[in-house]
Amino acid sequence: MKKILMITAALLTSNVAFACYDSTKNAQENFAQCYAAAESGNAVAQNNLGIFYYDGRGVEQNFGLAAGWLRLAADQGQLYAQYLLATMFQRGLGVKQLDEEAVKWFTVAVAQGHAQSQWKLSQHYRKGTGTAKSTTAAVRLLHLAAAQGHAFSQYDLGQIYAGIAYPEELPLKDPEKALYWLTLAAEQGEARAQYQLAKLYENGIGTAKDNTAAFIWYRKSAKQGNINALAVLGEHYYIGSIIPQDKLNAHLFLTLASAQGNARAVRLIEMLKAEMSEADITKAQDMTRVWIEDTQ
């Protein structure tokens, strides 16, 4: 939901939306202006009105009315209306949950080159929901989206080529391709990709073994709260494998990982505490508080 709200907010302030949207006016005024234009058949206004109802901006939130206006805009070729309408059918928001309709509208948006829709449609083809199952089509769509810089698609391709995601359905293991796509996603800040990329460097898969690069990517991922990265960093600090042993930092990262429910971190933190003085535990707790403050 948060991602969709961010997208809709951006749409309302984009140049194409200015047919009925004025950033100097309040939400209620913009709603009224867009409503009049939408009723006259203006596609951009219909798109914006659907977003107003979807977000509850300037009017009470109403997914049913949002879907109605978005459909009118989508029928007139409005790309983001097509995407949002597909998402609503996928999730059953304001309309009956229908994968077939979701696939229909994602497909229409894909024809306009929409990367997010390419990614979403790839999931339907992989699972065979709303359409015939086709791993070939799923991978093709991921490539199209990834080539446009879509980080989630780049991550998914990295997982597939690493042999981690769907190895039986998609036996496409290629470590060098995994490294390529995970690097692109990681550089965009995708925390899961950063973690997987660190593992490739740590184990020398698709590249030369590089403990420094592994540590850097584990830490970047951990800064975003990735539970796996937190747990691995804690363990590495505890045993001193790819980095020098540091029980204070081990306590920090294992504490954060165990707080998220990582079972191995829970076991290791108890072992670690038994080896630390009360003074060092207090220092580690202070370090943990600082880390949390810095990463919030």
CB neighbourhood size of 138 (10 A): 23
CATH for 1-97 is: 1.25.40.10
DSSP letter at 112 equals T
DSSP letter at 296 equals -
Across the range 140-163, mean pLDDT stands at 97
Q: Is the pLDDT of residue 147 over 60?
A: yes
**pLDDT attached to residue 209:** 97
pLDDT band (50, 70, 90) for residue 8: low
Cα dihedral 276, 282, 283, 287 sign: positive
CA within 13 Å, CB half, 227: 10
Q: How far, in Å, CA of 292 to CA of 51, rounded?
A: 35
Per-residue pLDDT of 243-295, as tens digits, reads 999 999 999 999 999 999 999 999 999 999 999 999 999 999 999 999 999 99
Residue intervals in the chain for CATH 1.25.40.10: 1-97
Residue pair 193/155 in contact (Cβ under 8 Å)? The answer is yes
Largest CA distance in the chain: 74
**Who contacts 76 (Cβ-Cβ below 8 Å, separation ≥6)?**
43, 46
Q: Is 279 exposed, middle or buried (0-12, 13-18, 19+ CB in 10 A)?
A: exposed
Q: Is 40 exposed, middle or buried (0-12, 13-18, 19+ CB in 10 A)?
A: exposed
Q: How far is CA 285 from CA 235, 244, 261, 290, in A?
A: 17, 20, 18, 9
Three-class secondary structure assignment of 225-279: CCHHHHHHHHHHHHHCCCCCCCHHHHHHHHHHHHHCCCHHHHHHHHHHHHHCCHH
Place of tokens 């200015």: 18
Across 129-143, 144-158, 159-173, 275-289, least confident range: 159-173
